[in-house]
Amino acid sequence: MARRSGLGPRWLEAVATVLLLGLFRNGIGAVVAEDSCGMVPQGRITGGTTAARGQWPWQVSINHHGTHVCGGSLVSNQWVLSAAHCFPSDNKIEEYEVKLGAHQLDYYSTDTQVRGVAQVISHEKYSHEGSMGDIALLRLSSSVTFSRYIRPICLPAANASFPNGLQCIVTGWGHVAPSVSLPNPRPLQQLEVPLISRETCNCLYNINAKPGEPHLIDQDMLCAGYVNGSKDACQGDSGGPLSCPVAGRWYLAGIVSWGDACGAPNRPGVYTLTSVYASWIHYKVAELQPQVVPQMEESQPDGHLCSRYKGFNSAPAQGLVGPILLLPLGLTLGLLRPLHED
């Protein structure tokens, strides 16, 4: 009788090894495919803390004349997304460089790659602090090599919807208090913040607003933070990412843009809503493909966050505001000042 072939122990061991490698490449294990956007294994974040090395591999530091002035997000091997106000028209692009894979800004690491800026594409609508269109694309002088510490974040498609209350993460190297720099070696900071609806954010920003300076949260803006203040993005990293988790991936929901207070009550952080500019991004750089975000639960009304102030109009205020930008983002308290420190 012929011997029936079977699965010997060595063969089974080989199959198991192949399956495990496949799981790791799909992000289930500790290793993630380096070309997969928005995938990085990590635990839950609470409060404002120092990030672990490689925890936010899309975070970049934008330097002007060698000084950190803004944050940004890597979205491909040659393109970074940041805020338009980080690039005043009187600055030359050769004065900028981008540091990728950095964790502690004051220490050199072999994990870090530095590139010059070959091109800056600011949105045509951007005109002044707090205006619409506070978004810019940066083309690096040469492509970067993805690694555990350098990886792109996913760009959300135009129809993306992030519900109120979703816990997202804002990151940066900014000040820890008004005019108080992040202490050496300046490790990357992270803060969990809940999303707030545009209507409620408008209501909050009109509480004790200065006469003649109505605050308008426009259609291309997103708010996140705490009504009672104390934790917020601050002077330090405008242009940096507001990263939101959906179905195992991180999406660039917002770009740090502006605010008129830092950690003050009723003044959540204001971000550029990235999905509004999905078509613009793809039109300017065809290789950048915004991705459909998996459907999430519908947003629940959050008007109760401003219910104590029913005398205030929660509708968008008329006119434009003159906000103070959150240029480098310091996850802390205090009043904001215009950003560029150099």
Query: Which residues are known catalytic residues?
Result: 85, 134, 238
Residue 298 tokens, joined: 């519908």
Q: Within 13 Å, how many C-alpha atoms sit on residue 207's CB side?
A: 18
Q: Are the C-beta atoms of 152 and 37 separated by less than 8 Å?
A: yes
What gap in Å lies between CA 155 and CA 81, rounded to an integer? Answer: 10
Kindly calculate the radius of gyration of the chain based on its CA atoms and give it in whole angstroms: 21
Task: Give the C-alpha distances (Å, rounded to integers) separating 316 from 143, 163, 244, 257, 312.
Answer: 42, 20, 25, 18, 11
Enumerate residues 6+ apart whose C-beta is below 8 A from 66.
Answer: 97
Exposure string (b/e) for 168-200, b if CB count within 10 Å is 16 or more? bbbbbbbbbebeebbeeebbbbbbbbbbbbbbb
CA pair distance 41, 29, nearest whole angstrom: 8
Q: Which of 162, 119, 149, 130 is nearest to 251 (CA)?
A: 162
Strands (E), the chain: 48-50, 59-64, 67-74, 79-82, 96-100, 113-122, 136-140, 167-172, 189-196, 221-224, 241-246, 249-259, 269-273, 324-325
Omega before residue 245 within 30° of 0, cis: no
Enumerate helices (H) and strands (E) in the chain, giving the number of each: 3, 14
In the block, tokens 């009550």 appear at 265
Tokens encoding 177 = 């208090």
